[in-house]
Amino acid sequence: MKDEKNLISLKDAAKISGYSADYIGQLIRAGKIPGKQVCCTVAWMTTADAVTAYKNKGNADAKLSIKEKLANQARMVVMEFDIIKLFFKTFKHSLPLLLVIFISFISISFFVVYLIGAKTNVNSKSINNSSRSGMTF
């Protein structure tokens, strides 16, 4: 987003436009107005200019030119990458820990499967030995 200095919350945008904050968030995620997610726990932020421009233009997707539709799609792609970057920025210290936990879980799972297989193998050998010892001719 170019105008990051003038970001406002969705609550403030709702007061300006008369739309609900949820609807404005939906418009941002749909790429109809520019917005930015500044933190994983905080929803979205946009500018007052973007909200008033959308309200003045009205909800007329059919009237959008190809250039505007392409700009909306490009905005959505940039927004998706921003979300991914924000995720990794937020959880950068947790990712190594999650990797260690995942590797530990896989190792323990293989160990348990090995023990179950070894126990089953021992039981089948003892069954075969007991059945042979009971049948003498």
- pLDDT at residue 101 in the model: 92
9, containing H or E segment = strand 7-9
Return the residue matching tokens 């089953």.
120
- pLDDT at residue 110 in the model: 92
Give the separation between CA 25 and CA 79, rounded to whole angstroms. 13
Q: And the tokens for 38?
A: 């500044």
Q: And the tokens for 73?
A: 């799609």
CATH number of 4-90: 1.10.1660
Residues in Cβ contact with 73 at an 8 Å cutoff, skipping those fewer than 6 apart: 31
- pLDDT at residue 104 in the model: 95
Give the separation between CA 15 and CA 93, rounded to whole angstroms. 37
Calculate the alpha carbon distances from 71 to 37, 64, 67, 88 in Å. 19, 10, 6, 26
Q: In a structure prediction context, what are the per-residue pLDDT tens digits for the chain, which is 137 residues long?
A: 555 677 888 888 889 888 888 888 888 888 788 888 776 666 788 888 888 888 887 655 556 678 878 887 888 888 888 888 887 787 777 878 888 999 999 999 999 988 887 777 655 555 555 555 555 55
Is residue 44 within 8 Å of residue 28, measured between CB atoms?
A: yes
- pLDDT at residue 130 in the model: 54
Q: And the tokens for 65?
A: 């030119």
